[in-house]
Structure 1
Amino acid sequence: MTVIVRALRPEVAADAEGFAHVRHVAVPYMMSVPASVVHSVTHAHPDTHYLALLAERHGEIIGTAQVGLVPESAEPGQGYVNVYVHPEHTRHGAGSLLVRTAEEHLAAHGATRLLSWVLDAPGNRAFAEAHGYRPSRTAHFLRLDLAHGTLPPRQDPPPGVTLRTAADYAADPRPIFELDAETSSDEPGDVDVTMTDYEAWLTEIWQDPLLDHELTSVAVVDGRPAAFSAAYTDGGTRYATAMTGTARAFRGRGLAKLAKNDSLHRARAAGYTEAFTGNDAGNGPMLAINKWFGYDICATEVRYVRELG
């Protein structure tokens, strides 16, 4: 039977469940739950022209794609295409059809340069290159055994520093937005991103069902959030660090390590047994911090780029 590709229907529970399942099987180091899948579709900023695509064969969802533009980029026309096919259902044309559908959608909305994360395996890389994409930077997925691993001891904050959680900012999250925007702009990447839209951040990031406000730790100096470690949880046993960073004025004081250690200890106490995170391969300082915590690299992905037109 022919593979078909269509947009995910957020009102149909089976669509989001199928999307999350394929993502979990294809990339088990990334967290995906149906509620977050639906949230991304229904709350995406209009300027992203975001699509969640599904590939079906014999009525079964076997492939997915996340497709959109990056409106925060200073350079217009930046788009992304992240395709994942169930490893037991490759070689049926689902990946190629997802890529073609995604590229047509993005080109129609002005994309001139496409970026795609591809797992670092010969078959995946050959697929990307056969579709006109060239390799760029690399990044690592890391895993920590929270149930049986040994975390560094909990640290008392230094004088003048207090530890809080994102939940403490529920009434006014803007200080967390400002910290996230500053630290995100300094992350290594193929696209320079500047977050300025507070309302979009509230909707897309702060209200994402994956974000665990209680387990997100914030180091505060003189009343100002100075560093944080954002936690994602799946409602089961899996925990992931979505972002860890320090405002420029407070770097070099170990505050990001302090916040992440606090979050990890509280996640383990809450019953989470696996912790995941990701780092750009060129981000030596964060890789060193994660090694100190006991994380091991469990997979690598490569950013591929294609110029359109």
Structure 2
Amino acid sequence: MTLTVRDVRPDVPADTEGFARVRRLALPYILFTSDSVRHNTLHTHPDARYRPLVAEEDGEIVGTAQVLMAYDSSAPDQGLLNIYVRPDRAGRGAGTLLLRTAEEYLASLDATKVFSWVLDEPAHRAFAERHGYRAGRSAHFLRLDLAGGGLPPLAPTPPGVELRAAVEFADDPRPLFELDAETLQDEPGDLDLEPRDYDDWLTSTWNHPLLNRELTMAACVDGRPVAFTVAYTDGDGRYSTAMTGTARAHRGRGLAKLAKLHSLHRARAAGVTDAFTGNDTGNDPMIAINKWLGYEFCATEVRHARELG
């Protein structure tokens, strides 16, 4: 058995498809496709110094790592890495080799602290702890069986509120960017994130290959988006919520729940069978919305961190 680690070659389909396949097997709650792997490799902000890696066992891709600097954090010198190995190849050294390569790269960029998401399962947590990582906050993955019909009926739209799909903003998506930037500031997390600039948002979000503009819905007041839910789809019957939020001045009216409900009804009508989402364990309002929509907990991950060097 020969193990090697190398960079992803974004223009080689075997690399991007292999990366996506490992991620789907190891973490099926987050959508990855060959196109999204290629897009992330080529178009992540240059300041992130993003470096996706694959581990090969006898020439076959069996593990992946996403390695980057938290370029949009207000705290400097923070690194991020997420490692996943195909479940049937775990425990054979691929994860350790990926971790060592990733940490050496981040150290070369002068990262002083590294954050990593780890599945809340004994083997995964033990691996992280053996390598000096300590557990922090946690988050849940939730799944909704759309094929099974588990979804409340559509609710009426309140007076003065209009529901619009993101595709209707194709000529000028800036209002969606501004809403995204505001709601991102209130999202729970380990890092305080600075707003991205508009061009970065256009590249990383608006033009992302997983973004479904027909299913991404915004609740608008006076023609301006004030609540929204961002929908990703993979073309294989799977849907994932990338973000849901409401402008501060319009919270408490149920507008985010309304937008997400309509998005999910549209998704089911379009043939989507499985919907996934994720919530920080302390985000009780969003967890309550998702439970009302019919989502059920399916896994938990724990953010781990360690100081470098």
Q: Give how far 1:100 is off.
A: 0.8
TM alignment of 1:47-196, pairs within 5 A: 47-196=47-196
Q: Give how far 1:196 is off.
A: 3.1
Distance 1:46 1:60 in 2: 29
Q: Give how far 1:106 is off.
A: 1.1
Where 1:259 maps in the other structure, the secondary structure is helix
Q: Answer yes or no: is the 8 Å Cα contact 1:149–1:294 preserved in 2.
A: no
Distance 2:282 2:237 in 1: 30
Tell me the number of residue pairs that the alignment of Structure 1 and Structure 2 aligns: 309
Distance 2:246 2:240 in 1: 18
Q: Answer yes or no: is the 8 Å Cα contact 2:144–2:150 preserved in 1.
A: no
Distance 1:129 1:119 in 2: 12
Distance 1:181 1:250 in 2: 15
Q: Write the letter of the residue equivalent to 1:194.
A: E
Q: Answer yes or no: is the 8 Å Cα contact 2:63–2:83 preserved in 1.
A: yes
Distance 1:52 1:147 in 2: 34
Deviations 1:235-277 (A, max 9, x none): 1211111111001111001000000001000000001011000
Distance 2:58 2:111 in 1: 32
Q: Give how far 1:194 is off.
A: 1.7
Give TM-score scaled by structure 2 length. 0.99
1:207 alignment partner in structure 2: 207
Moved over 3 A (4+): none
Distance 2:144 2:196 in 1: 33
Unaligned runs of 5+ in 1: none
Give TM-score scaled by structure 1 length. 0.99
Q: Give how far 1:44 is off.
A: 1.2
1:253 alignment partner in structure 2: 253
Q: Give how far 1:150 is off.
A: 2.8
Deviations 1:50-102 (A, max 9, x none): 01100001110000000101111111111111000001001221101111111
**Identity rate, percent:** 63
Q: Give how far 1:2 is off.
A: 2.3
Q: What is the RMSD computed on CA atoms of the aligned residues?
A: 0.8
Q: Write the letter of the residue equivalent to 1:142.
A: L
Where 2:88 maps in the other structure, the secondary structure is coil
Where 1:155 maps in the other structure, the secondary structure is coil
Distance 1:70 1:223 in 2: 34
